[in-house]
Amino acid sequence: MPPFATLWHALRHWADETPARIALRQGERAVAYQDLAVKAEDYARFLRSSGVQNGDRVIIVGLNIIEWVVAYLAVMRLGAIAVPANNRISALQMADLVGLLEARVAIADERHASLLAQAPISVLPMEKAMAVAMSAWEDLPEFVTGEAPALISFSSGTTGEPKGALLSTEALCTASEVFRLFFRATSADSTVVIAPMFHNTGFIDQFGQMLLAGGETMLVEEFHRKEAVAAFKAAPATFVTAVPSVLRMLMILDDADAVFGPARTVLFGGSPMPAAWSREMLERWPHLELVHGYGLTEFGCACSFLPPEMITNFGESVGFAAPFAELRVVGEDGRDVAQGASGEVWVAGPTRMTEYWRRPEANGEKLFGKWLRTGDLGRFDDAGRLFLHGRRDDVINRGGEKILPSHLECLLAELPEIGYCVVIGIPDPVLQEVPVAAIEIRPGRAFDESRARSFLAARLPAYAMPAHFMVFDPFPRIASGKVDRRNVRDAVIRTLEQQSANSGGSDET
């Protein structure tokens, strides 16, 4: 378990032991550990004077700025429940979120305060987090530890009813400890956060890990390639993490050496890294340790890791259970399947959510004793490595033949002109579903569909061949940086329907 009872205990430890060491950077701004602890405690006192009490839900919405982190730490210090909110949702969605949470207050930066305009809630300025000064005699409550609720994290999906995973204080701290342990992080380590801070990647995998280790975190306000490279140049990172599509964007930049040259470890997850990309990365930066991770919002993120020595030969695997985690592959009867057989992945451990906030029907579907049903399909190989095959509802059923999108995506990634690829299933009146390959082209390259079909034909059964290829420039993405597969699917269907209408007929598959 973690060496500290809470993330706050880690902050206080480093504030006492290494008060002048830099904890946070943002552009040219820098905050040392002692100053971070003082500012967060001052803001906690301010929040208490504003009526925030133990157990109250406090929404935090804004860009990746130092004040966001101060507000986040201050809410935790009070024993209130932090709710990092997606800053890309609409005002109406935010109002619904406020109602679901019955939130006490919201803390918003100037750019996003308008998101709360339709919500019946007090909005406190995030920018005040570094400016407020409160009297030290204004008491703060005792630290809240153990199973007390600390955070509600909403998954990064784009449709359906919002589901917020409630994590305890212990689960939140342990989730970051998983990363510190596995990646051997010390006070000499550093990271650059290019994912939104409201995503687990930002506040658990990166900032939480560095806080426990006494390392340094650089914040990029909002991901743009130019700003990201500037941040890596200003504060070289030993720990780099992103979804494969974002890593690919960075790899093909002229300044890619500034990102990957100083790094020790690169963690990717959210989807498989095509073997061609991993090979290219290791050829260019052979010192790197590449790690494939698998995680869920409902599990504090990390469920498993594939060690770097296995990336070359087993890169599609998500590896073995993360520290403190247990994994199963379960059949429709609720029993473990045989080694090599496919089933649903279940996970258990101290980082698992307590529940979905006020979603009892969803809790009943997801939680079975200590186990969390992930909804992901997978299998174990003879060495115990876990391989994922997509979501239960993502497998394409073409006339009774099952097609795994991830397999096609990895094959297409071998083509040098393809920057990124998503394979989705669309309705077909005869075959039920057919696969479509949506692709992004690398800058300066051209896509040759006949070449792609010939390449796949030598490696796939005929039924798995994409019915169509469609180029996107660029792909729509969700907050975590992953491609928005639902949005892509809708766009593909609209485009094909329009093409059919314009031709005066229907496509034959």
> Above 80 in pLDDT, residue 434?
yes
> Above 90 in pLDDT, residue 160?
no
Give CA 93 to chain center in angstroms: 21
- Please give the helix or strand (H or E) that residue 431 lies within, else none: none
Query: Which pLDDT tens digit goes with each residue over 170-179?
Result: 999 999 999 9
- Please give the helix or strand (H or E) that residue 175 lies within, else none: helix 169-182
Gap between the Cα atoms of 351 and 383, Å rounded: 25
What is the end-to-end Cα distance of the chain in Å, rounded? 55
Gap between the Cα atoms of 466 and 453, Å rounded: 8
Mean pLDDT across 415-423? 91
Query: Which pLDDT tens digit goes with each residue over 34-44?
Result: 999 999 999 99
Gap between the Cα atoms of 188 and 354, Å rounded: 34
Looking at every residue in the chain, the average pLDDT score rounds to 91
Assessment of whether the complete model's pTM goes beyond 0.85: no
Contacts from 38-42 at CB under 8 Å and sequence distance 24+? 39/70, 39/129, 39/130, 40/11, 40/70, 40/73, 40/74, 40/77, 41/74, 41/77, 41/140, 42/132, 42/133, 42/134
Mean pLDDT across 15-28? 98
Contact yes or no for 467/509 (Cβ under 8 A):
yes
Query: Which pLDDT tens digit goes with each residue over 41-77?
Result: 999 999 999 999 999 999 999 999 999 999 999 999 9
Query: Is 316 buried (19+), middle (13-18) or exposed (0-12) by CB count in 10 A?
Result: buried
Query: Beta-carbon neighbour count of residue 159 at 10 Å?
Result: 8
Least confident of 181-190, 261-270, 398-407: 398-407
> Above 70 in pLDDT, residue 437?
yes
Query: Beta-carbon neighbour count of residue 320 at 10 Å?
Result: 17
Confidence grade of residue 332 (pLDDT, cut at 50, 70, 90): confident
Gap between the Cα atoms of 176 and 181, Å rounded: 9
Mean pLDDT across 311-334? 95
Domains and CATH numbers, the chain: 7-380 (3.40.50.12780), 396-503 (3.30.300.30)
Amino acid at site 314: F
Query: Which pLDDT tens digit goes with each residue over 71-88?
Result: 999 999 999 999 999 998
- What pLDDT does 194 receive? 96
- What pLDDT does 156 receive? 55
Angle at 434 between CA 429 and CA 437, to 5 degrees: 140
Query: Which pLDDT tens digit goes with each residue over 197-206?
Result: 999 999 999 9
Mean pLDDT across 341-369? 95
Instruction: Return the structure tokens found at 100.
Output: 């679901």
> Above 90 in pLDDT, residue 230?
yes
